Amino acid sequence: MNAPSMAPRPLRWGILGCGNIAATVARDLRLVPDQVITAVASATPGKAAAFAAIHGVATALTRYEDLVVRDEVDVVYIATSHERHFDNARLALAAGKAVLCEKPLTINARQARELADLAQRQGVFLMEAWWTRFFPIIDLLLADLAAGVIGPVRLLQADFGIRSSWAPDHRMVDPARAAGALLDLGVYPVSFAHLVYGAAPTAVSGQMRATDRGVDAQSSLLLSFPAGGQAVLTSAIDVQVPHQARLYGPEGAIVVDDFFHPSAYTIHPRGGPARRIERPFPGSGYQFEIAEVAACLGDGRRESIRRPLADTLAVMATMDAVRDSWGLRYPGE
């Protein structure tokens, strides 16, 4: 017999920060049974009320402090920009709430460790919203790799570059907001490499091309993993690059398009015909991370087995290491 569910039904969400991603996630949350957004908070005047009206949320607040103490909030989704995650997640964890926090969890490993320790002391759930991990196709990919369809992965290449007209105070470009390609976009290829190799790298190196404000416009990383595989990873905020991951082993290759939110991959076995694996999904794809949080809380777990905090900490440590080699520091470090 299954253990009785420990999560309240419906699971009641509070959203902290009412920006772009909060709106998309709020829409996808409707795709998961037994989930409801009971309150939202925005520090920007008028934004929470407008968000609540659009998404049918009963309570709109102007102070994050008022959100995290609401009885009708079981789990807080932190949807602010990354330089604020540490303070915002700490606030919610200290109030005893479960937390799903947008990627990157924090700006460095020290902050991430502090949050993980606080969650443990408080006995509450914490997970980074690295949504990539929870797409159904990712489990199929990991199973295919474990079955040896291309043999042991020897080389992984993954790229994430976008070009846009960022406002000077945008988090992508403003050094005061921990800007740069690596932290915001590079976190995807770095996390993907950690996932595929199932370990933290044994050696990390990289180079960057700086913006005129001194953060990385482009980052190129080379990681070596314990079993000998390597990852070559790039990210950029001023050039468009296909968001593709390519995995090579002695028995073939696998190509994952849009690897940060994938619905398919193609296996190219050595000497055999290509085979395409597809798992299309409705919505934008954030429903899978929402379902993971609901499942974890239903089982009374304090972290996700599929995306444990140790993995998030390892990724942050990798990014810290390469930044150290560049001498790139964020405010407060």
Ligand X SMILES: NC(=O)c1ccc[n+]([C@@H]2O[C@H](COP(=O)([O-])OP(=O)(O)OC[C@H]3O[C@@H](n4cnc5c(N)ncnc54)[C@H](OP(=O)(O)O)[C@@H]3O)[C@@H](O)[C@H]2O)c1
Active-site residues, by number, are 103
Is 79 one of the binding residues for ligand X (CB under 6 A)? yes
CB-side exposure of 145: number of CA atoms within 13 Å? 25
Q: Of 101 and 153, which CB lies nearer to ligand X in the complex structure?
A: 101
| Pairing between β-strand 230-236 and β-strand 216-224 as defined by DSSP bridges | antiparallel
Nearest distance from C-beta of residue 129 to ligand X, angstroms: 6
Cβ neighbours for 46, distance < 8 A, ≥ 6 positions apart: none
Q: Is the distance from CB of 166 to CB of 173 less than 8 angstroms? A: yes
Nearest distance from C-beta of residue 110 to ligand X, angstroms? 18
User: How many residues of this chain bind ligand X (CB under 6 A)?
Assistant: 19
Q: Is 61 in the site for ligand X (CB under 6 A)?
A: no
Instruction: Candidates 35, 38, 47, 217: give the one binding ligand X (CB under 6 A).
Output: 47
Relative orientation angle of helices 136-146 and 187-197, to the nearest 10 degrees: 40
Q: How far apart are CA 327 and CA 141, in angstroms?
A: 36
Which residue's CB is nearer to ligand X, number 17 or number 298?
17
Residue from 11, 15, 21, 193 binding ligand X (CB under 6 A): 21
Closest contact distance (angstroms) between CB of 244 and ligand X is: 17
Give the alpha-carbon dihedral of 75, 134, 88, 314, to 10 degrees. 130
Question: Judged by CB, which is closer to ligand X: 229, or 285?
Answer: 285
- Among the residue ranges 3-11, 12-20, 197-205, 296-304, the one whose residues contact ligand X (CB under 6 A): 12-20
Q: Does 18 bind ligand X (CB under 6 A)?
A: yes
Which one among 90, 97, 103, 243 touches ligand X, defined by CB under 6 A? 103
The two most distant CA atoms of the chain are separated, in Å, by: 61
| Stretch in the footprint of ligand X (CB under 6 A) among 7-15, 38-46, 90-98, 269-277 | 38-46
Whole-number Å distance between alpha carbons of 262 and 288 = 12
Number of C-alpha atoms within 13 angstroms, CB side, residue 175?
A: 11
Contact by Cβ (8 Å): 135, 279: yes
For residues 148-187, which are near ligand X according to CB under 6 A?
169, 184
Residues that bind ligand X (CB under 6 A): 17-21, 42-44, 47, 79-82, 102-103, 129, 131, 169, 184
